[in-house]
Amino acid sequence: MSQTVAEALRQAETQGKHHGLTRLDAQRLLLHALARDPNDRAWLLAHDTDALPEPAAEHLLALLARHAGSEPMGYLLGEQAFFGLNLQVDERVLVPRPDTETLVRWALDLIDTLPQPTTLLDLGTGSGAIALALKSQRPNAAVRASDTSEAALTVARSNAERLGLAVVFYSGDWFDAIPDMRFHLIASNPPYIAELDRHLSALRHEPISALTAGPDGLADIRRLVNGAPDHLHPGGWLLLEHGHDQAEAVYALLQARGFEAVTSRNDLTGIARCGGGRWPVRR
């Protein structure tokens, strides 16, 4: 005898609780298995006595098995909310994290103090999260984004087209993608995990090239700090997301390169998550 929708939800919660599955996520997985909007929880209440179709039941079990294997919810649902946008994501890109919204908020604060129209660059754009969030909030800004992964750029361009946001994308390794361009603000969430970090095992489903950066996790941040002055207008800003224990190192790198007004921003948990500085007007 087939389960009802309510019974399937209870089973999903029970099966997933040992792997950190919340009730909300169980609801979202069930809705996804039913080919419905994952946020339409009211539908579940209105149809809790409906019989769950066998294909949906099989799909739900497959999703729960993937969740038990530590696959991110964004991959299971094929989408992730970020700064009010619904971004499509898959194994070609990192799943955007709430911590990165800290970087976006900082950039938005600065944009309003910079020359208009402001030129912005998101380096290592992945799904396009930072660039698309900035463009959605500051539509008059000229937003550019780059990535070394063509697969990631396919995802980013698709998100931009679906959301109707005019961001120009470039392919290349960091500043090689935009050799002759300068910007008022450069923002990046680069790889910053050390290659042998013990936490990597929990991130095995996501692209390793977007996660790790050398023995200390700072290899790409060093490249960005060293190269940014050649691509910033005088008075322009470089903003970088970094690891929870890298604030002092990033602060030192920015100061040593000659950036001024070097400071940091805390994430939602109060940890310094982003570092940045302004390139002097005169050198």
**The pLDDT value given to residue 266:** 94
Q: What is the pLDDT of residues 65-85, one digit of tens each?
A: 999 888 999 999 999 999 999
Q: Which residues pair with 80 in a beta bridge?
A: 87
Query: What per-residue confidence (pLDDT) applies to 203?
Result: 64
Q: What's the rounded mean pLDDT across residues 133-157?
A: 97
pLDDT > 70 in the chain, percent: 92
What is the share, in percent, of the chain residues with pLDDT greater than 90? 80
**For range 153-166, the mean pLDDT:** 98
Q: List, for residues 91-140, the tens digit of each pLDDT value.
A: 999 999 999 999 999 999 999 999 999 999 999 999 999 999 999 999 99
**pLDDT of 2 higher than 90:** no
Q: Mean pLDDT of all residues in the chain?
A: 91
Predicted TM-score (pTM) of the model is 0.91
- The string of pLDDT tens digits covering residues 229-254 is 999 999 999 999 998 889 999 999 99
What are the structure tokens assigned to 232, written together? Answer: 């910033």
pLDDT tops 70 at residue 199: no
Q: Which range is most confident: 34-48, 203-217, 220-234?
A: 220-234
Quote the pLDDT of residue 201. 63
Of residues 243 and 282, which shows the higher confidence score? Answer: 243
Write down the pLDDT at residue 130.
98
Predicted pLDDT at 204:
66
Are 205 and 238 spatial neighbours (Cβ–Cβ below 8 Å)? no
Instruction: Give the per-residue pLDDT at 16.
Output: 84
Mean pLDDT check: name the lowest of 125-129, 194-198, 225-229: 194-198
Q: How confident is the model at residue 260 (pLDDT cuts 50, 70, 90)?
A: very high
- Is it the case that residue 213 has pLDDT exceeding 60? no
